[in-house]
Structure 1
Amino acid sequence: MTATLSACGNTGNGSGDVTLRLVAADYGNGPANSSEKYWDRLVKGFEASHPGIDVDVSIYSWKDIDREVAAMVKKGQAPDIAQIDAYADYAEAGKLYRADEMLSIRTQANFLPSLAEAGSLDRTQYGLPFVASTRLLFYNKKLFAQAGLDAPKTWDDIRDDAALLKQRGVTCPFALPLGPEEPQAEATMWMLSGGGGLIDDSGSYEIDSAENVRTFDWLKTNLVDKGLVGPVAPGRLDRQKAFDAFTDGKVGMLNGHPTLMQEAERKGVSVGMVPLPGTDGPSEGSLGVADWIMGFKQNGHRVPLGKFFDYLFTDKNVIDFADEYDLLPVTDSASAAMESDARFKPLWKFLAALPNSQIYPYGKTSWARSSESFKRNIGKAVEPNGSPEDVLGKIARDSAAAEHTK
């Protein structure tokens, strides 16, 4: 789906002295909640308070937007602003303005520190975090109550609870989506809860660390080999399919993000949410994910870009978008406002988890290729004859090769 909106009749050749072209992703799942509505309101407000600057917005589906922006840039027709899921390749190619070239000091300083760092290449911020998400363990309260279970706190709790749920006829005691949709998220959550992760303290990949190998050995032995992960093999189970099964009441536990909460409750599934269980207790950190917005240099619109971004990142605009899609704000002030407003109580646990979350290494131009290796390989680690050590080693080698290929 592609939609173009022009506030107040602006077609991109309107009365303004400058027209900014903005390309953004659609977070909705249909016309009723398309992101077009958010941008229409925002652009009308911006243009009313900034005469002389028009904004022309095109909305693309997530399936198409990265390809569309790449094609625009390749043709020498880069948009002024792109809201997509990666910035590093464009920053490394010298196509983006630095954050400090566009934003006021107040706006730049207001980003959550972990997200500002994740938006940086070689210690310089180019990617502006647009919206964020983090993960918690979701469990079906009804199924747990029927089985007399409390919320899990450790891996052993997950294993034991899943075994009891299976005995009581639950179709999928624990959903483990390691299919090609987004397995790097599921894998990273488990790595973090096992004391490992994607990146070490020096910023190098540690995908095949001893901690990560132990984590996947445990998953294979204690959940997969015991038949506790449902009728679909993890390597063939995509995240959305797992989420759909959870909202249908067929899954006991899975790792989820805020948007799943709304859909489950809409379908009448009572949801419990706790920090990711670890080996000895709840994990201190979680996985953090962000989408990005950035300013391209090509048209030389540095000053009007700064005015637009300063407007975009006001608390009202940040909270309006996060609220619409059950996502998390990216600024300190908007986060504080949501944490003090009872309307957003369902998101408080996610807000609390975000500051200590490990964010994907977005600043690495190799991350896209590392993610692809996860998608191709990680499900094999828990197959009947799979070797976690060999599979993680393969992904680590692919990631290292991508790191050294420019």
Structure 2
Amino acid sequence: MTPFAKTMIAATTLAGLAAPAFAEDISFWGWRTEDVPQYEAFIDMFEAENPEINVNLRMVEAVSYGTILKTALAGESGPDAMMVRAYGSFEDLASGGYLMPLTDENVPALKDFPADALQAETLRADGTVYAVPFASQTMMVLYNKDIFEQLGLDAPKTWDDMKADAEALKDAGFYPFANGTAAAWQNEVLTFGLGASTMGKGFYQDVMSGKTDFTDPRFIDALTRIQDMGQYFPDGFIGLDYPSSQQLFASGMAGIFVGGSYEIAAMKGMNPDINIGVLPAPTVNEDDEGLVAVFYDGGYAGNAASEHKEAVTKFLNFLASQEFGQVFANELSNISPIPGVTFDNPELQAVSDLNKTSIPYMMLVHFRFDQPSGSTLVQENIQKMMAGDETPEGVGKAITEGLSSYYEPFQKN
């Protein structure tokens, strides 16, 4: 039993002894079904400090959560508090008037949150924050430190280093990379997890300022190098699904996996003994800046129609507190955006350090608000490229043309 769990049992016992006869009930929904025990403990922690409030948790499978939540909110039967997605998916709810506006007055801790975290939960139409951001995710390179040490390999910095390591892994009987491309969304992870450093901060800034588009040589160079690295993916990788890719890496059959920071906990769950290292995307030159791609995963929001707004606001303030952020990071192995949170987990600390040199996970952060979404365009076209059915130049052109249907700067290029 962890120290946190022991503390929560004691706190819950004391809370039960001190609880008022008629506590106020609020409902809290989310999609993290795999994290139910931890969220129950978080709620116990809140209730121990607020015995006048009972929080009733309901977790729904992620694939259907959005539809179930929106239907419930539209039918005035939604939860008092809830997890919401970020960026485009978040706007779909916030623009419907379903969520409580949050300010520095009703949730004072928000004033210290990173600006990019708040942007993820801000409705563009009115500039209002509607949710407390709960986690960042980092697209990067994971590698098996024990395999690299066994083979006498250094962690790769450049594309040339990565290719040399891949050759050594292959010669030793390992799969160099575990990744497959059958799951469309994994192709977007590959694009920015491997390509961020080659694209560079300048490319990102130029796209957002309208100075360039995705036919830019920096983007094409990144795709060309990713396509070339495909020679080190498993045989038949175009049909290799996501769970199988994870198993190849977690089982120690592959040395490298391009993925998100969320993979650390997943891989440890499959193999507690795996020794994972994390790296930025490879660079072209030794002196180039190594970058990762970062986005925020979601937030905690209140129902604008709730009859328990004061209790909900107390709960949201708890979820915005450093106290909660610390146990969230420790128990769920996630990067909390709450200022002052530290990381006991060395892998999480390493990810936090990588985040200091990053670009946004571009398509999710900026181009998932309209159709065709940037994510769809990247996923479909990179999948074709990795299968040999499209060129890097063709991918860049298709993405630019798709986004130009609503992104005005591309209409001028």
TM-score by length of 2: 0.79
- Aligned-pair identity in percent equals 21
2:176 alignment partner in structure 1: 173
Determine the C-alpha separation between the residues in 1 that align with 2:209 and 2:307.
Answer: 36
Determine the C-alpha separation between the residues in 1 that align with 2:29 and 2:256.
Answer: 37
| Alpha-carbon contact 1:114-1:355 (below 8 Å) kept | no
Q: Deviations over 1:50-92 (max 9, x none)?
A: 3554432211122221221122234343323221333122223
Determine the C-alpha separation between the residues in 2 that align with 1:67 and 1:205.
Answer: 36
Per the TM alignment, residue 302 of structure 1 is displaced from its structure 2 partner at its CA by: 4.2
1:269 alignment partner in structure 2: 274
Per the TM alignment, residue 291 of structure 1 is displaced from its structure 2 partner at its CA by: 2.2
Determine the C-alpha separation between the residues in 1 that align with 2:65 and 2:165.
Answer: 41
Shift of the 267–304 alpha-carbon distance from structure 1 to 2, 3 Å rule, reads closer
| Alpha-carbon contact 1:193-1:277 (below 8 Å) kept | yes
| Alpha-carbon contact 2:279-2:354 (below 8 Å) kept | no
Per the TM alignment, residue 204 of structure 1 is displaced from its structure 2 partner at its CA by: 9.8
1:84 alignment partner in structure 2: 84
1:285 alignment partner in structure 2: 291
Q: Secondary structure at the match of 2:232?
A: coil
Shift of the 253–40 alpha-carbon distance from structure 1 to 2, 3 Å rule, reads closer
2:398 alignment partner in structure 1: 394
2:99 alignment partner in structure 1: 96
1:50 alignment partner in structure 2: 50
1:219 alignment partner in structure 2: 226
| Alpha-carbon contact 2:132-2:320 (below 8 Å) kept | no
The 5 Å alignment of 1:359-370 reads 359-360=360-361, 361-362=364-365, 365-366=369-370, 369-370=373-374
- In structure 1, runs of 5+ residues without a counterpart are 1-6, 29-34
2:118 alignment partner in structure 1: 116
Determine the C-alpha separation between the residues in 2 that align with 1:290 and 1:70.
Answer: 21
Shift of the 52–147 alpha-carbon distance from structure 1 to 2, 3 Å rule, reads closer
Q: Secondary structure at the match of 1:148?
A: coil
| Alpha-carbon contact 1:112-1:355 (below 8 Å) kept | no
Amino acid at match of 1:111: F
Per the TM alignment, residue 248 of structure 1 is displaced from its structure 2 partner at its CA by: 1.3
Per the TM alignment, residue 95 of structure 1 is displaced from its structure 2 partner at its CA by: 2.8
2:302 alignment partner in structure 1: 295
Q: Deviations over 1:179-221 (max 9, x none)?
A: 324432222223322125667333899444332222112222x
2:4 alignment partner in structure 1: none
1:67 alignment partner in structure 2: 67
Determine the C-alpha separation between the residues in 2 that align with 1:393 and 1:74.
Answer: 40
2:31 alignment partner in structure 1: 25
Equivalent in 236, 252, 255 of residue 252 of structure 1:
255
Determine the C-alpha separation between the residues in 2 that align with 1:39 and 1:272.
Answer: 28
1:4 alignment partner in structure 2: none
Per the TM alignment, residue 371 of structure 1 is displaced from its structure 2 partner at its CA by: 2.4
How many residue pairs end up in the alignment?
A: 375
Equivalent in 305, 314, 317 of residue 307 of structure 1:
314
| Alpha-carbon contact 1:25-1:62 (below 8 Å) kept | yes
| Alpha-carbon contact 2:33-2:59 (below 8 Å) kept | no
Q: Deviations over 1:252-307 (max 9, x none)?
A: 21223444335555354333333322112464431223222222312365443321
| Alpha-carbon contact 2:121-2:131 (below 8 Å) kept | yes
Shift of the 136–378 alpha-carbon distance from structure 1 to 2, 3 Å rule, reads closer
Q: Secondary structure at the match of 1:20?
A: strand
Q: Secondary structure at the match of 1:311?
A: helix
| Alpha-carbon contact 1:102-1:302 (below 8 Å) kept | no
1:156 alignment partner in structure 2: 160
2:352 alignment partner in structure 1: 351
Determine the C-alpha separation between the residues in 1 that align with 2:223 and 2:371.
Answer: 21
Determine the C-alpha separation between the residues in 2 that align with 1:232 and 1:275.
Answer: 26
Is 2:208 the counterpart of 1:201? Answer: yes
Amino acid at match of 1:377: N
Determine the C-alpha separation between the residues in 2 that align with 1:94 and 1:355.
Answer: 35
1:228 alignment partner in structure 2: 232
Q: Secondary structure at the match of 1:100?
A: coil
Shift of the 255–245 alpha-carbon distance from structure 1 to 2, 3 Å rule, reads same
Per the TM alignment, residue 100 of structure 1 is displaced from its structure 2 partner at its CA by: 0.6
Shift of the 296–128 alpha-carbon distance from structure 1 to 2, 3 Å rule, reads same
Determine the C-alpha separation between the residues in 1 that align with 2:407 and 2:214.
Answer: 13
Determine the C-alpha separation between the residues in 2 that align with 1:61 and 1:319.
Answer: 26
Q: Deviations over 1:346-386 (max 9, x none)?
A: 32111112344333444752389332333333211222242
Amino acid at match of 2:134: F
Determine the C-alpha separation between the residues in 2 that align with 1:93 and 1:202.
Answer: 29
Q: Secondary structure at the match of 2:184?
A: coil
Determine the C-alpha separation between the residues in 2 that align with 1:312 and 1:367.
Answer: 33
| Alpha-carbon contact 1:133-1:257 (below 8 Å) kept | yes
Amino acid at match of 1:153: K
Q: Structure 1 stretch 304-313 or stretch 292-301: which is displaced more?
A: 292-301
Amino acid at match of 1:134: T
| Alpha-carbon contact 2:177-2:255 (below 8 Å) kept | yes
